[in-house]
Amino acid sequence: MPGLVDSATAILASAERRLEATAQNVANASTPGFKRQASFAEAMAFADRADSSLPAQKHFVDFTQGRLTETGRSLDLAIDGPGLLRLRDGDGFVYARGGSFALDAGGLLADPTGRVLQQAGGGDLALTGTSFEVLQDGTVLEDGLPAARIGLYEASDPAALSPQGGSTFTAPETAMADAEASQIRQGFLEKSNVTMSDEMVAMMSSLRQAESGGRVMQFYDELIGQAITTFSRSGQ
């Protein structure tokens, strides 16, 4: 019986996590560069594992490329390929799939939360003027001359990237390397890769899973009730 309860609990917890992921995806459907969270079961039905509960369902990030849309704004940057930009966030770094940047008073390129774009090799990317061009390899031209190069990175294992909300991630520096198959597109933003129809299907699947777990718990309660009734009668 304990195995039945554990299995039902695991099913319900898994369904809850899937619903949380779906809610996160829907909330960020219009966030530029957002990558949807998906989930999958590491094992099938609990029938073959009567002595243990189902393994927890994991979430992973779907890094499918989002559609690039032209904005015409020179401070909007998008990435075509699996690469990521590195941003300084206080004493640490986060990685982003591009975004809308602005020049601060010191000539630094910062995102709306103040995180500063990093150049290849490390260090804040600083510009001397407001007119510049970003080539697809990340080279920044000022007055037609190379002034800096934006760093482009990718994870050797995408599982090392931990979502931090929106389109940003954290990762150990040892897990990141220079991106070789990515390009920066100036004047573009990447749409999220969330498809509402897919999220609706995922939500319905999660609800059915939760109903299944609820039925298992109901069945367990009925068995306990029958057992109590049987023992009560035998004791009379």
CA dist 207 and 219 (Å) reads 18
Name the pLDDT band for 131 (thresholds 50, 70, 90).
confident
Q: Provide the pLDDT for residue 153.
A: 97
pLDDT tens-digit series, residues 24-66:
888 889 899 999 987 654 333 333 433 444 344 456 788 999 9
pLDDT tens-digit series, residues 83-126:
999 999 999 999 999 999 999 989 999 999 999 999 999 999 99
Classify residue 172 by burial, with Cβ atoms within 10 Å: 0-12, 13-18, 19+. Answer: exposed
Between helix 2-27 and helix 196-234 the angle, nearest 10°, is 160
Q: Provide the pLDDT for residue 54.
A: 39
Find, among 107, 99, 183, the residue nearest to 142 by Cα: 107
Task: Average the pLDDT over each of 19-23, 90-94, 192-196 and give the range with the smallest value.
Answer: 19-23
